[in-house]
């Protein structure tokens, strides 16, 4: 019944044109694949069913299904309508006290000044209680920190309130009121259990996770655009996963916008790994994670793949288990395979070992499994010493492994987005821009990536633009949704007026569509009325006169001769684009500084591949990301973008601390340091930082994500 309920939900969504795909451990199930719940063949990719379900497992598994963001709410409502609200409910989350919420609530209960408490709470990491007493003593503005800290310590980790699980639902045959405590959700017709996912499992109920993945919206819209403009309907379920050109693009790290492999860390890895097949892509998705990095899996795998060190196995008997990852325990399923090959475990027992290691169960439980593992090793003709050694090694790696079936499900979406980017870039980037915020970068970075792929970006035009971005003349026409001050209501007014014909002048537009002054001025300044061949400052003047007439104000007295306004400079046009749209359809911002930077000896991103390893260089550009990963030991990574591409820069902890104000606040940076090349990957090891421009340009970058 459970499988058929999930199948029914997925079939309903597909029949209404919503993309859908299962992921996680359910991709190990052949039944889920045959029912169309998942899209990855578990036999073809050697996925283990016991990772999903086994006799030894104490509870039942759940199935995670991704829907498009646009369709998910309708899918959830369908479940309520189809199975009845007496039998259907969302699962809750128990929200516990973290440092910030504990500080705020205890401070409120003690009657402390809200402003002081709020300021102190903001200075904390949201989940960090370590050193709180010392921090209160130092930064608590005279608060009685001893009692304050005591109360905070007493409530940390305790339940604060209930929230709704991101996608968990249960469907029962008996009325839910007979099974679980319930409450009404704020949305009419929605019911929520007062049990969380662990309570649900303990009660023997099975949860379905109905999740949203915005990348599916991008793929779906891109397919529609390709059919509209190219006359071809792409069936992603029939798409081969072996196109060399697609893998070549991925291997060159030309992956901005490509699902799961567009981050700085992924783009650093791709040229070293050079994936050439789907299995390689699965490894790529799985290995660039905090877990494999902390588990020290990344460098051994890369070194072996590049032939820099020999492929070695924990034991010769494990070659068949670890061959695909060159002897490195990368997937959680490989822990299960090792348990079977060495310890004589059944597949289900192997999954229990995997669960114990990944969830860090009690020491006693893991030691019981160790004893069972060593006995099995001896029975298989190995020594106890070998059994203990292999167990220690998989215990060290097992807690950091990634679910192989999850990697397979995600890798398919990775390939599909890469395919669309390579063969249908206009459709792909148009769809991507229409679903921002999405992925790793701001829209500006996506636009520049499209330009580098030969796609023309057409500016906003009062007669040609639509609410969202569209494909026009083979390029991308920016939509009104990218103009600040043109909200949903304003866009609807323009759409409603469109059937009356094209706008013939600024006066005509103002007479037909009522927008706020800010919205109108922004449209003028990004060039939406340039088709009328009137300079933008003159149009602003005309608009001010039209407003005076419309509002019944007495006109100001002007000289009889025509007033001449200076044209906007190229820099003013570009800076206004960034201020109003967050991006530009024209030349990249850095082109305005290139002459000055050339005089300073600044290299472009295009120059770097031909520069000797170890050379001292200067680079400059627009900051598109700043990162300080928890695994990087205080190093900060800054990505710059110029008119030719991107540059990755590394600031060691002492360098970042020295230049922190400039490095964290300036939108344009000039960085100096040593160029380091490694397997085609270029980084700048920075030792000096300065702002690239004194003129203020507010540009959004994705910082410290």
Rounded to whole angstroms, the Cα distance separating 78 from 515 reads 38
- Domain assignment of residue 348, yes or no: yes
| Alpha carbon separation from 145 to 139, 623, 672 (Å, rounded) | 10, 40, 45
Residue 85 pLDDT: 85
- Domain assignment of residue 412, yes or no: no
Is the confidence at residue 132, as pLDDT, over 70?
no
- Domain assignment of residue 317, yes or no: yes
Residues 566 and 668 both lie in one domain: no
Letter string b/e over residues 607-626, b meaning 16 or more CB atoms within 10 A of that residue's CB: ebeeeeeeeebbbbbbbbbb
- Mean per-residue pLDDT for 659-683? 92
pLDDT digits (tens, 9 = 90+) for 582-630: 999 999 999 999 999 999 999 999 999 999 999 999 999 999 999 988 7
- Domain assignment of residue 427, yes or no: no
pLDDT digits (tens, 9 = 90+) for 212-253: 999 999 999 999 999 999 999 999 999 999 999 999 999 999
Which CATH number characterizes residue 605's domain? 2.40.50.140
Which spans in 517-628 are helix H?
A: 517-525, 536-550, 570-581, 594-600
Residues 172 and 57 both lie in one domain: yes
Residue 102 pLDDT: 85
Is the confidence at residue 386, as pLDDT, over 80?
yes
In this prediction the pTM is 0.89
Confidence grade of residue 261 (pLDDT, cut at 50, 70, 90): very high
Residues 338 and 360 both lie in one domain: yes
Is the confidence at residue 361, as pLDDT, over 60?
no
Residues 86 and 106 both lie in one domain: no
Which 3-state string (H, E, C) describes 448-480?
A: HHHHHCCCCEECCCCCCCCCCCEEECCEEECCH
Neighbour-count burial of 555, counting CB atoms closer than 10 A to its CB (0-12 exposed, 13-18 middle, 19+ buried):
exposed
Confidence grade of residue 355 (pLDDT, cut at 50, 70, 90): confident
The half-sphere exposure of 260 on its side-chain side, counting CA atoms within 13 A, is: 24
Rounded to whole angstroms, the Cα distance separating 171 from 133 reads 46
Residue 533 near residue 504, CB atoms below 8 Å: no
Last residue of a domain, one of 406, 432, 456: 406
Confidence grade of residue 142 (pLDDT, cut at 50, 70, 90): low
Residue 437 pLDDT: 87
- Domain assignment of residue 102, yes or no: yes
Q: Tokens representing 292?
A: 């494999």
Last residue of a domain, one of 565, 581, 597: 581
Last residue of a domain, one of 385, 406, 427: 406
The total of structural domains in the chain comes to 5
Confidence grade of residue 422 (pLDDT, cut at 50, 70, 90): very high
pLDDT digits (tens, 9 = 90+) for 194-216: 998 888 888 888 889 999 999 99
Instruction: Please indicate whether residue 133 or residue 346 has the higher confidence score (pLDDT).
Output: 346
Residues 324 and 186 both lie in one domain: no
Q: Residue 704's closest CA among 660, 642, 670?
A: 660
Q: Residue 92's closest CA among 205, 199, 208, 187?
A: 199
- The angle, 0 to 180 degrees and rounded to 10, between the axes of the packed helices 425-434 and 443-452 is 170
Residues 75 and 207 both lie in one domain: yes
- Domain assignment of residue 74, yes or no: yes
Residues 89 and 110 both lie in one domain: no
Range of the domain at 127: 98-147
Tell me what the pLDDT averaged over the chain comes to.
88
**Rounded to an integer, what is the distance from CA 312 to the centroid of its chain?**
35
- Domain assignment of residue 37, yes or no: yes
Letter string b/e over residues 142-175, b meaning 16 or more CB atoms within 10 A of that residue's CB: ebebeebbeebeebbeeeeebebbebbbbbbeee
pLDDT digits (tens, 9 = 90+) for 488-524: 999 999 999 999 999 999 999 999 999 999 999 999 9
Residues 626 and 675 both lie in one domain: yes
Residues 574 and 596 both lie in one domain: no
Residues 199 and 335 both lie in one domain: no
Residues 86 and 119 both lie in one domain: no
Residue 47 near residue 337, CB atoms below 8 Å: no
- Domain assignment of residue 413, yes or no: no
Is the confidence at residue 655, as pLDDT, over 90?
yes
Residues 460 and 532 both lie in one domain: yes
């Amino acid at each position: 019944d459970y499988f058929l309920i999930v199948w029914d939900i997925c079939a309903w969504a597909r029949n209404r044109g919503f993309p859908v795909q299962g992921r996680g451990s359910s991709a190990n199930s052949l039944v889920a694949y045959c029912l169309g719940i998942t899209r990855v063949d578990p036999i073809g990719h050697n996925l283990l069913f016991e990772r999903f379900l086994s006799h030894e497992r104490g509870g039942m598994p759940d199935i995670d299904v991704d829907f498009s963001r646009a369709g998910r709410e309708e899918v959830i409502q369908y479940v309520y309508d189809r199975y009845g609200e007496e039998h259907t409910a969302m699962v809750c989350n128990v929200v516990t006290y973290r440092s910030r919420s504990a500080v705020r609530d205890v401070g409120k209960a003690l009657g402390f000044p809200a402003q002081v408490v709020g300021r102190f709470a903001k200075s904390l990491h949201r989940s960090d209680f370590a050193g709180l007493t010392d921090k209160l003593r130092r930064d608590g503005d005279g608060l009685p920190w001893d009692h304050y800290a005591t109360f905070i310590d007493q409530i940390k980790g305790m339940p604060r309130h209930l929230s709704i699980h991101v996608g968990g639902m249960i469907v029962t045959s008996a009325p839910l009121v007979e099974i679980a405590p319930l409450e009404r959700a704020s949305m009419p017709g929605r019911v929520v259990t007062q049990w969380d996912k662990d309570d649900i499992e303990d009660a023997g109920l099975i949860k379905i996770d109905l999740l949203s993945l915005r990348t599916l919206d991008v793929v779906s819209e891109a397919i529609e655009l390709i059919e509209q403009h190219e006359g071809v309907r792409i069936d992603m379920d029939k798409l081969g996963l072996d196109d060399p050109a697609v893998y070549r693009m991925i291997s060159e790290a030309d992956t901005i916008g490509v699902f799961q492999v567009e981050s700085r860390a992924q783009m650093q890895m791709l040229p070293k790994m050079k994936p050439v097949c789907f299995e390689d892509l699965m490894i790529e998705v799985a290995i660039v994670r905090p877990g494999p990095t902390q588990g020290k899996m990344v460098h051994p795998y890369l070194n072996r793949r590049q032939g820099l060190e020999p492929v070695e196995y924990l034991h010769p008997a494990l070659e068949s288990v670890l061959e695909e990852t060159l002897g490195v325990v990368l997937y959680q399923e490989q822990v299960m395979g090792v348990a079977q090959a060495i310890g004589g475990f059944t597949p289900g027992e192997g999954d229990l070992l995997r669960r114990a290691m990944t969830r860090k169960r009690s020491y006693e439980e893991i030691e019981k499994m160790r004893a069972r593992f060593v006995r099995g090793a001896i029975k298989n003709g190995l020594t106890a010493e070998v059994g203990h050694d292999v167990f220690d090694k998989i215990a060290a790696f097992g807690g950091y492994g990634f679910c192989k079936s999850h990697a397979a499900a995600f890798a398919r979406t990775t390939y599909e987005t890469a395919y669309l980017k390579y063969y249908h870039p206009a459709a792909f980037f148009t769809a991507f821009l229409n679903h921002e915020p999405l992925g790793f970068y701001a829209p500006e970075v996506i636009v520049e990536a499209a330009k580098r792929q030969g796609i023309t970006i057409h500016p906003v035009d009062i007669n040609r633009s639509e609410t969202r971005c569209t494909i026009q003349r083979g390029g991308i026409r920016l939509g009104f949704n990218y103009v600040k001050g043109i909200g949903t209501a304003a866009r609807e007014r323009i759409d409603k007026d469109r059937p009356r014909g094209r706008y013939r002048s600024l006066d005509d537009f103002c007479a037909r569509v009522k927008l706020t002054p800010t919205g109108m001025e922004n449209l003028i300044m990004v060039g939406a009325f340039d088709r009328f061949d009137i300079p933008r400052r003159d149009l602003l003047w005309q608009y001010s006169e039209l407003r005076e007439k419309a509002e019944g104000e007495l006109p100001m007295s002007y000289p009889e001769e025509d007033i001449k306004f200076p044209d906007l400079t190229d820099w003013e046009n570009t800076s206004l684009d960034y201020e109003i749209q967050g991006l530009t359809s024209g030349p990249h911002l850095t082109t305005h500084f290139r002459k000055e930077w050339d005089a300073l000896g600044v290299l472009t991103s295009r120059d770097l591949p031909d520069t000797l390893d170890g050379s001292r260089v200067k680079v400059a550009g627009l900051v598109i990301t700043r990162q300080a990963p928890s695994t990087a030991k205080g190093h900060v990574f800054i990505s710059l973008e110029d008119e030719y591409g991107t540059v990755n820069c590394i600031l060691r902890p002492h360098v970042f601390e020295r230049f922190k104000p400039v490095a964290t606040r300036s939108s344009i940076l000039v960085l100096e340091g040593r160029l380091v090349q490694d397997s085609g990957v270029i980084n700048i090891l920075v030792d000096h930082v300065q702002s690239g421009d004194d003129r203020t340009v507010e540009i959004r970058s994705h910082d410290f994500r």
